[in-house]
Structure formats: structure tokens, C-alpha cells
Amino acid sequence: MVVAHSLIPGLEEIVRSGDSKRRGDAVRKISDLFLLGASRFQQAHIELFDGILTSLVPQTETEARGELAERLSALINAPPQLVAMLVRDDSIEIAGPLLRRSPVVDEATLVELAKLKGQPHLLAISSRSAVSPPITDVIVRRGDREVVRRIASNAGANFSHLGYAGLIRRAGDDGVLAMAVGQRGDLAPPQLKDLLARSVEVVRRRLFDAATPEQRAAINRVMAEITGTPKHLSITRDFATAQRTVQKLHQADDLNEGTLLRFARAHQYEETAAALAAMSGVRIATIDQLLKGDRDDPILILGKSIGISWATVRALMVLRLGPGRSPAAADVEEARQNFERLVPATAQRVLTFWQTREPTSAMPL
């Protein structure tokens, strides 16, 4: 190309034998040329740039290739062979921008890469503004927890029946994923029923709380079908009796970690909440909000701040899920490690915040 050769003397020699730095400088200058004229280039021009850049790029440094991928990612007429080369790179710094938003990367390529590449690449694909069922089928099957949560939260993602079945199956032991799936606008009634049947009580209630009035009616209808009896998830718990029981224990100097552990293991929710409120100085309505949350972090903070053991904290995690349910082993281990790393002084500062806030402001962290 005449312009390229005039701007970059010795281009042919650089292509043939230049080091990675000289190649990188040449790539930047040629891509500047392309970006300046991209809006008016015809196919022949694009092909010419494509040929020059694809001969330079493979031997350039990672930083230069990543910068180039970022610049090309928004162009509808980016050089196709160059994009095909960059998007297949094992480095997410290079492939990522193109996987996330390039209009030049077609469905077949995305399916291919979703099958072959690792989790960072799958996460990038999951962030695209539109993701078709052939792609989401692979992502749901191969993605780790972060990836699957991302794709379920993407309003531009579409799922086949098989893909939705996979999402709902994995949501059975992942409350965050269950919330993401349950709040999707394209969730069909049979899929909602399957999701609720697999979900623990705390997730069902959070879905109900986040739903519109029409969605709440649908959730209650589905719960009636599942249980065989009318089910209204908006019922508020009555803590009065439990508070009286805990107050008597406190007066008798029998309110301690052992008592709390027995309540939790027996799935006595109201008594457990009342005991935690008395031991922490936090309002029982706030304790109820923390226990009903979809994350374990508030339970870890609460446990660390009042000095209870991991065994009791784990029992509180199980209590949140309801009888006959238990958290996934990976979630338990992650929570244990977070609990061990948690600094008591930090937990105490959060506890002080909870003690001084109204219940509606004390949302889970």
C-alpha cells in the first residue's frame, strides 16, 4: 500500500525480519491509518490492511496485540482475518475485547471458542450484548459458577429448553444463580415451577420479595402446586414466643453458643434469630433480614463479631436453607476460608453499624 509504505519506511523489511518492538510500532501506525479511514473503506481496502496486519501481528508483543484488539472490537468492518487470528488467542487480554463485543465475530466462531477455551474466555463471551442459544448451551454446560451467573444475568442472552434445564439444575445449590434465573423476563411457567421446586426457602422468599405483583401471584400459584396446599410466601414470622424463651435463658445465664447451636441444628428459625439478636445486640428484624439474604457473608461477619466457632456458623448456613438441605461443599469451604481470614475488629465495626441502623437499612453485604 502506497500510504503505508510512505508512512513506515522499510515496511517490507520489518514484515520479513523486524523484531517484536519494531513490528509493534508498525502495527500501531497501520492500525491508526485504518481507523482513520475505516468508515469510508471499500472491501478491497479492508483486504489490503488485513493482509499487511496479519503478517505483522503474530510476532508482536502481547501488549501491542491487546491494544489492537481493543481498537478493532467496536468496528463493524474490522479486517476479518485479523479478527479471526486475535480472537483465538489464548491470552484473554488479546481475545477478551473481541469476545465481549466485536460484531465481526460470528456465532460459529463463538460456539467453537466456547467449546475450546477456558473460563476467562467463556466469561467474556457471556458479557456480549446478545448471545444465542447454541452459544449459551455450551456456556451453561462448561462454565464455572461465575460464568454461569454472568450469562444468567445477561438480559441479551437467549436459552434453549436444554440450556434452561441446565441453568435450573445448577441453581439448585446456588442461591445467587437461582435469583438471576428467577428474575429473567423469558422464564416460562413450567421453568419457574422447576426452579422453585429445586430452590431453598430463603431463595423462594427473596424471589417473591423482588417480584412484581403479577409475578408474586404466579409464584404463590406454583408453590401451591408444589406443596399441594395454599402457599403465601409473604407471611411474616412471629418472633414473640421465641424472644420470651430466649429472655428466660438469658436470665438463667443459659444463653450461650451451645444453646444457639442446638437451635440452629434443630431448624428452630425463630429461636435462632432471637438468640442471635440477644447475643449481638442487633434488632431481631435486622437479624431476620441477614438470615434471609442470598449471601453467607453477613452470617460470617455476625459469627466472627460475637466470637462463635466455625461449627456454629456452618449450622447457621444450613439453617438458612431449610430442613433436608445443605450447601454445596465448595460453598462451605469458601465460606470457611473467608471466616478464618475475617479480622474480628472489622467484623465488630460492621456489627456496630447493624446495631445502630433501622432494619430496612441493614441489608446484607
Residue 204: closest CA among 219, 215, 194: 219
**pLDDT tens-digit profile of 338-354?**
999 999 999 999 999 99
Q: Rounded distance, CA 344 to CA 306, Å?
A: 9
pLDDT at residue 356, rounded to an integer: 82
Residue 121: closest CA among 147, 141, 140: 147
Residue 244: closest CA among 283, 282, 270, 281: 270
Per-residue pLDDT of the chain (365 residues; tens, 9 = 90+): 444 444 444 445 445 555 566 667 777 777 777 777 666 777 887 787 778 888 777 778 888 889 999 989 988 988 999 999 999 999 999 999 999 999 999 999 999 999 999 999 999 999 999 999 999 999 999 999 999 999 999 999 999 999 999 999 999 888 889 999 999 989 998 999 999 988 877 788 888 888 887 888 888 888 888 876 555 555 557 789 999 999 999 999 999 999 999 999 998 999 999 999 999 999 999 998 888 776 789 999 999 999 999 999 999 998 887 777 777 788 889 999 999 999 999 999 999 999 887 554 444 44
Q: Rounded distance, CA 87 to CA 69, Å?
A: 8
Q: Rounded distance, CA 289 to CA 56, Å?
A: 58
pLDDT at residue 102, rounded to an integer: 96
Residue type, 249: L
Residue with cell 447493624: 354
End-to-end CA distance of the chain: 58
Domain locations in the chain?
1-105, 240-361
Which pTM was predicted? Answer: 0.64
pLDDT at residue 38, rounded to an integer: 65
Bridge partners of 157? 131
Cell of 109: 466462531
Cell of 197: 421446586
Burial of 317 (0-12, 13-18, 19+ CB in 10 A): buried
Q: Rounded distance, CA 56 to CA 164, Å?
A: 43
Contact call for residues 131 and 103 (beta carbons, < 8 A): no
**pLDDT tens-digit profile of 52-111?**
888 777 778 888 889 999 989 988 988 999 999 999 999 999 999 999 999 999 999 999
